[in-house]
Chain A
Amino acid sequence: MKGHEDHEDHAMKIPGQQAPSDGPEALLTVEGLVKHFPITKGLLRRQVGAVQAVDGLTFDVRTGETLGVVGESGCGKSTMGRLITRLLEPTGGRVAFQGKDISHLGVAGMRPLRRDIQMIFQDPYSSLNPRHTVGTIVGAPFRLQGIAPEGGVKKEVQRLLELVGLSPEHYNRYPHEFSGGQRQRIGIARALALNPKLVVADEPVSALDVSIQAQVVNLLDDLQDELGLTYVIIAHDLSVIRHVSDRIAVMYLGKLVELTDRTSLYTKPMHPYTKALLSAVPVPDPKRRAKRERILLKGDVPSPISPPSGCRFHTRCWKATDVCKTQEPPLLALEPGHQVACHHPENAPEAATAGTTGG
């Protein structure tokens, strides 16, 4: 119940301070998005708590951009991906696609939108049905939507296979005949079949080898240029995220802690968590081993079942003060286009810091 109150509090605060831009450029708008998974116990399935997987997210995705979402396991990034593609229904808050509220649309209501919003999954082994041919898999969206592409499904599927760098002759083969990288290409072809506007990719390359990972990253890049796609790419690998994203959202325990463009995030992160996260990534350069300054965080990420009070990061933060334990910091734009939720931000302009710590 406590979590629920937190959310109310949050939802009231955010729109007032940081109006989400409902301008023409926003393809997807998310406001105060909440997803709690109930934990039940006993024969009567009494609810004893909730996993607060996503707890009040407000951001938008602009047409044509790539929004990267990073965070460690349990931060709710995958749940967020499933919420904005409406594979899950939010517990609270609002998701709007092209201005239309899709938060609680049913299966039938979502069907026309499935054309516009597609998802690519992490594991290319389990996300493709082993008993279907590549042709059936990639052609499935046409059948499900009842669409007959010009020139027939087969021709269209072969065009898609070529688009993602596979041979059209692979049409009649089965997924097990392909390597991991090729399977991921099949998944991408399937996602692109209906010419979507928004593609949400959940860890699209983390199951792949380094050399294959680069091929898929480049492919996603090319497809975006060619088809004018908008991406939300969810990943735990900060190097991949830096390479692919225009803007980046950092999540911690169901909350957005920082949201800004790529350059600002990597050159002057404001949230201590972001800073620690960046410093923890091993740099592939042995010469810099001695020089670099690393912030070692204490312990592990706390449980999303009973997240810490106030700022959820305060239990591991070296800058935490009393205010962090009691007051949840709102997500504020301390610089144009650089939002951060912290009472004691790093690299922040003087005025902004004073403003937040005073409040």
Chain B
Amino acid sequence: MTTAPAPGPGDAPTAFLEVRDLRIHFPTDDGLVKSVDGLSFQLEKGRTLGIVGESGSGKSVTSLGIMGLHTVGQYGRRRARISGEIWLDGKELMSADPDEVRRLRGREMAMIFQDPLSAMHPYFTIGHQITEAYLVHHSDAGKKAARKRAVELLDRVGIPQPDRRVDDYPHQFSGGMRQRAMIAMALVNNPELLIADEPTTALDVTVQAQILDLIRDLQKEFGSAVIVITHDLGVVAELADDILVMYGGRCVERGPAEKVFSEPRHPYTWGLLGSMPRIDREQTDRLIPVKGSPPSLINIPSGCAFNPRCPYADVPAGGITRTERPELRLVTGGDGAAGGGRHWSACHMAEEERTRIWTEEIAPKL
């Protein structure tokens, strides 16, 4: 049992959210952009999964894929090519009727976007946009009830004088308030899955702290499953129970947050940690960046996508890193009984070797 368990297509899911071998490709003039190329993970209710990666790693595309947003509104010839399975609460969404998926959107699964100013329609009031989200899934509810619900939620997310501010337009809110309103909009139907795509990237750090607190509190209160997508390791460390590190459209490492931060087992994760200036300690040494740039998603390097940037690409014998794609493997001893989570990584290097490199070469320099 060292490779990832591979439930066959159509097998019943074992988790609340289960993504199996998700592939999302976009045809372009220059070639096929493989934004997500074989991604699998599971998420239980009440847990928070942090998906970390740099631009072009496929993290945002994944979230829109789960929401089914690559298949609606894709007019014209160039549609995204999507395959794989997405199980949400026992239902498979990829093969489901699009209208059925639409009815799940906003009700069972909701999303918070990065920039709340551009993510809200400038011509409609905050209240209108929230009640609209409520009424579309509660056709029997009256406008009054919907408005009451909107005010209630604005109050819950910490908007002062919600019964007055509900009639304001987005431009009358400050950045932090808009993100609170956006969260209220996402929570209006008590979704069981909440996806936050870079929820605090557009905000100042003091406001970011408020929003992260709010998301954490709401998660406790609503008990939903939460996916936080971010490039900021600090944000995932604040919020996530589990972390999934993406590179070139695939998962390279996945595990409980503490494990991934304290005993990372993939050279890319080491690179991310080494690249990051630390606020919490005096650091006089140079940063340890990853060389080169993220890969082109049209020409993903063969073998391990990370091999051109990996300082250890030649450690495994026979150039296997350039020819064969490494599968996710369970990290020995990562099967921590206490944490309950499992630690996986996709690297050709022998595990003892990676453990040695981390403890002897990388960790002391961080």
A-to-B contact residues, CB < 8 Å: 72-73, 179, 181-182, 209-215, 217-218, 221, 236-240, 242-244, 262-263, 266, 276-289, 294, 296-297, 299-301
B275 partner residues in chain A, CB cutoff 8 A: 210-211, 213-214
Q: How large is the interface on B (under 10, 10 to 19, 20 to 34, 35 or more residues)?
A: 35 or more
* B residues 280-294 touching A (CB-CB < 8 Å): 280, 282-283, 286-291, 293-294
Distance in Å: Cβ of A278 to nearest Cβ of chain B: 7
Query: Nearest Cβ in chain B — how far from A143, in angstroms?
Result: 30
7 A-B pairs with the lowest CB-CB distances in the bound complex, closest first: A282-B234, A214-B289, A214-B275, A243-B277, A280-B209, A211-B290, A72-B204
Given the complex of chains A and B, what is the CA–CA distance between A278 and B234 in angstroms? Answer: 13
Do A243 and B258 have beta carbons less than 8 Å apart? no
Contact of A239 among B208, B240, B276 (CB under 8 A): B276
A303: nearest residue on chain B (CB-CB)?
B174
Contact across chains for A238 and B280 when beta carbons are under 8 A apart: no
Interface string of B225-266 (1 = CB under 8 A from A): 000000111111110100000000000000001100110000
**Cβ contact of A300, chosen from B174, B274, B283, B291, cutoff 8 A:** B174
Indicate the member of B54, B272, B275, B294 with the most A CB atoms within 10 Å. B275
Decide yes or no: A214 and B287 within 8 Å by CB, A240-B277, A287-B262 being known contacts: yes
Complex CA–CA separation, A240 to B287 (angstroms): 11
Is B212 an interface residue, CB under 8 A from the partner?
yes
* 17 A-B pairs whose Cβ atoms sit less than 8 Å apart in the complex: A182-B293, A211-B271, A214-B274, A218-B287, A236-B204, A238-B205, A242-B277, A280-B205, A281-B279, A283-B234, A284-B234, A285-B237, A285-B280, A294-B209, A299-B176, A300-B175, A300-B207
Query: For the complex, what is the distance from the CA of A237 to the CA of B212, rounded to whole Å?
Result: 17
Roughly how many angstroms separate A73 CA and B277 CA in the complex, as a whole number? 21
B64 to chain A, nearest CB (A): 20
Q: Which of A279, A280, A297 gathers most chain B CB within 10 Å?
A: A280
Residues in chain B near residue A239, CB distance under 8 A = 234, 276-279
- Min CB distance, B168 to chain A, in Å? 15
User: Of all chain B residues, which has the CB nearest A222?
Assistant: B286
- Complex Cα distance A297/B209, Å? 9
In the bound complex, CA of A238 to CA of B204 (Å): 11
Q: CB distance B280 to A288 under 8 Å?
A: yes
Expressed in whole angstroms, the Cα–Cα distance for A278 and B271 within the complex equals 25
Given A263-B282, A300-B176: A284 touches B276 (CB 8 Å cut-off): yes
Kindly state the separation between the CA atoms of A211 and B258 in the bound complex, as whole angstroms.
21
Q: A178's closest neighbor in chain B, by CB?
A: B293
